[in-house]
């Protein structure tokens, strides 16, 4: 990867295995919006970004070097060798064609609080509604950024909301989960940063203590918000996929089963 700082933009050359359409709209993040010019706008850690793939180069608009180095470099997982990972995954029979078909999916390193809340909201819900609820949450309680985008409100902001405040966002029966979760994180009863440095099993155990967080939500949060690439969220689609792996997950998934899961999810949606 070559990084060019030019004026207010940052241009990335030679980024391997990054398809923005597949990565930003595959159900791991819910706030990216495709613009008429084909670029994507979104925000992370309270910072707005517009990013576009132009003839193989990635252009990050109006971004400072500091924001790139402290947020986006890690957010898009730019220092991981996805070519090598995809080559490994393709040694599995089922993924050999799927990786080619959906080449360029990366795991986004999202803010852990946003990821945890988002996947609590996502349970027994469809992606369109999930996006609508989260957008309303941010518009109502987040801070205005650029171009009509908002930050994801932190736990200190949300801990004062009542259950009916959350219900007013359309969260339904998940409102009570979000209310209690916000209070627990704001009070320090739950420390998300400490969970990041635990082992996968220990981190999972901690998240499962949270009211409204089960195995699927915990694993999604761990994978997309806590940096655990070996977390393997099992949803209704993965349960169907697992029938194709009667002996369990193959060895080539070791350490990166979460990345494999993203490809399997696409395959399942189109083939099962």
β-bridge partners, 34: 40
Ramachandran area for residue 231 (φ above 0: left; ψ -120 to 50: alpha; else beta): beta
Minimum CB separation from DNA for residue 211, in Å? Answer: 5
Segment near DNA (CB under 7 A); pick from 38-46, 52-60, 134-142, 211-219: 211-219
Using the rule CB under 7 A, is 220 a contact of DNA? yes
Residues 120-159, one symbol each (x = binds DNA by CB under 7 A, - = not), give: --xxxxxxxx------------------------------
Q: How many CB atoms lie within 10 A of CB 81?
A: 10
Taking CB under 7 A as the binding criterion, the range among 9-17, 62-70, 90-98, 261-269 that sits at the site for DNA is: 261-269
Q: Which of 16, 34, 216, 239 is catalytic?
A: 216
Asked if 178 and 121 count as a contact pair (C-beta separation under 8 A), the reply is yes
Q: Which is nearer to DNA, 46 or 212 (CB)?
A: 212
**How many residues touch DNA (CB under 7 A)?**
33
Q: What is the dihedral of CA 138, 141, 143, 146, to 10 degrees?
A: 30
Rounded to whole angstroms, the Cα distance separating 143 from 152 reads: 8
| Chain mean position to CA 133 | 16
Between 47 and 217, name the residue whose CB sits nearer to DNA.
217
196 catalytic? Reply is no
**Residue 64 interacting with DNA (CB under 7 A):** no
* Residue range at the interface with DNA (CB under 7 A); choices 72-80, 88-96, 185-193, 205-213: 205-213
Give residue 6's Cα distance to chain centre: 28
Sheet holding 40-44, edge to edge: 2-6, 9-13, 57-61, 47-54, 40-44, 33-34
Contacting positions for DNA (CB under 7 A): 26-28, 122-129, 167, 170, 172-173, 210-218, 220, 233, 235-238, 261-262, 265
């Amino acid at each position: 990867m070559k990084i060019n700082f030019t004026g207010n933009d940052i241009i990335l050359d030679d980024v391997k295995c990054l398809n923005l359409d597949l990565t930003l709209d595959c159900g791991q993040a819910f706030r990216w919006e495709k613009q008429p010019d084909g670029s994507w706008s979104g925000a992370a850690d309270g910072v707005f970004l517009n990013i576009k793939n132009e003839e193989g180069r990635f252009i990050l608009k109006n971004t400072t070097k500091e924001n790139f180095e402290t947020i986006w470099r890690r957010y898009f997982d730019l220092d991981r060798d996805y070519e090598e990972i995809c080559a490994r995954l393709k040694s599995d029979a089922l993924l050999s064609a799927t990786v080619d078909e959906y080449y360029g999916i990366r795991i986004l390193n999202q803010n852990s609080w946003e990821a945890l809340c988002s996947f609590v909201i996502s349970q027994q819900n469809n992606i369109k509604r999930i996006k609508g609820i989260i957008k309303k949450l941010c518009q109502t309680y987040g801070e205005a950024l650029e171009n009509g985008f908002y930050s994801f409100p932190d736990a200190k902001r949300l801990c004062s909301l009542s259950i009916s405040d959350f219900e007013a966002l359309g969260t339904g029966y998940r409102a009570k989960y979000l209310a209690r979760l916000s209070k627990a994180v704001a009070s320090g009863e739950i420390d998300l940063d400490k969970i990041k440095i635990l082992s996968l099993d220990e981190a999972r155990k901690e998240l499962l203590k949270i009211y409204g967080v089960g195995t699927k939500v915990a694993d999604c949060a761990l994978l997309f918000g806590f940096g655990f690439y070996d977390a393997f969220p099992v949803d209704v689609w993965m349960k169907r996929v697992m029938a194709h792996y009667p002996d369990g997950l193959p060895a080539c998934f070791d350490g990166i089963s979460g990345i494999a899961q993203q490809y399997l999810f696409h395959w399942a949606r189109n083939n099962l």
